[in-house]
Amino acid sequence: MKRVMFVCKKNSARSQMADAFANKYGAGKITVTSSGLEKSQVNPGAIAAMDAIGMDIRNQSSNALSEFQPEDFDVVISLCGCGVNLPPDWVVREVFEDWQLEDPAEKPELFLEVRDEVERRVKDLIDRVG
């Protein structure tokens, strides 16, 4: 089973949504963790966007990437273009992708659009690596 890390700047929105979708669609195929370059809190806009489709992420927590070891993961996905800021060991995993999705925390009107794009990409990722 592939071990997947979703990483973003603050682990507050995009990576939290990716974590939830990957756990839903990848159950039994992949294991999932999410983190941020810095630790934060789950963004209320992300909670609302996921609530709108019946997924509750209120109990998810924000984690700092520094709490994890890169060798514990096969797949690393940056959701925000922060791949250039990751320590080198994180970008040389079996699969590394930088999705460069806009930050809905900075543009709240984008939460639903970003959520849907994250879901689409997570499903595609699971099809490829799961």
In sequence order, which ranges of the chain are alpha helices (DSSP H)? 14-25, 44-51, 88-91, 111-129
- State the catalytic residue, choosing from 5, 46, 57, 80: 80
Does 82 qualify as catalytic in the annotation? no
- Alpha-carbon gap, residue 84 to 26, rounded angstroms: 27
Does 8 qualify as catalytic in the annotation? yes
Please state, in angstroms and as integers, the Cα–Cα distance from residue 127 to each residue in 8, 25, 43, 117, 120, following that order: 22, 10, 28, 16, 11
- The answer for residues whose C-beta is within 8 angstroms of residue 38's C-beta and 6 or more apart is 9, 10, 11, 64
- State the catalytic residue, choosing from 4, 5, 8, 75: 8
What amino acid positions are annotated as catalytic residues? 8, 80
